[in-house]
Amino acid sequence: MMRVRRLLMGIVFTALAAGAAPTFADELIMARVPTAFPEAMNALQEAIREQGYKLARVQRIDVGMSKLGYETAQYRVVFFGKPEQMERLPKRYPELIPFMPLKVTIFAELDETLLVTMNPATLATFFPDPALTDTFKAWEEDVYQIFARTRGD
């Protein structure tokens, strides 16, 4: 349990460094994937594409995690979004820029892999525009679908 707490703290640190808003545990979406990291990483990227999103980039964070005392190189942040939204939304709502594109932290834990992201629906608290609330809810549903596909559900 202590190892999971250390990992979660590392993830929150990493998410903050990657531009995500501060989050609490109940504002996170998490999934455990019963496969090794390379297979889970491939499944995640495929699930993102199947859900209609485009991968923006994959950021290795193992160097930073090594400095925090973690011994694995199997940590990544996967950035993704829908091109039309990534172009349109920041123009209309520049305050959304720190939250776009969407991000998933993926890391190995023994012979399994964990996926963690901020729940996009929590953004409605900070941006109460009804048009955005619908977008945030759609993103939340898409993240749940992406995680389910990655798990093989």
Burial of 88 (0-12, 13-18, 19+ CB in 10 A): exposed
Q: What integer best gives the mean pLDDT of the chain?
A: 84
The model's pLDDT over 93-122, given as tens digits with 9 standing for 90+, comes to 999 999 999 999 999 988 899 999 999 999
pLDDT tier at 1, thresholds 50, 70, 90: very low
The model's pLDDT over 47-84, given as tens digits with 9 standing for 90+, comes to 999 999 999 999 988 777 677 777 766 889 999 999 99
Rounded to whole angstroms, the Cα distance separating 15 from 23 reads 9
Q: What is the pTM of this model?
A: 0.79
Q: Over the range 33-70, which residues count as b (16 or more CB within 10 Å of their CB) and which as e?
A: bebebeebbebbbebbeebebeebeebebeeebeeeeb
Q: What is the pLDDT of residue 80?
A: 98
pLDDT tier at 2, thresholds 50, 70, 90: very low
Out of 3.40.50.2020, 3.40.1160.10, 3.30.310.70, 3.30.70.2660, the CATH code matching 2-151 is 3.30.310.70
User: Is residue 133 scored above 80 in pLDDT?
Assistant: yes
User: Is residue 23 scored above 50 in pLDDT?
Assistant: no
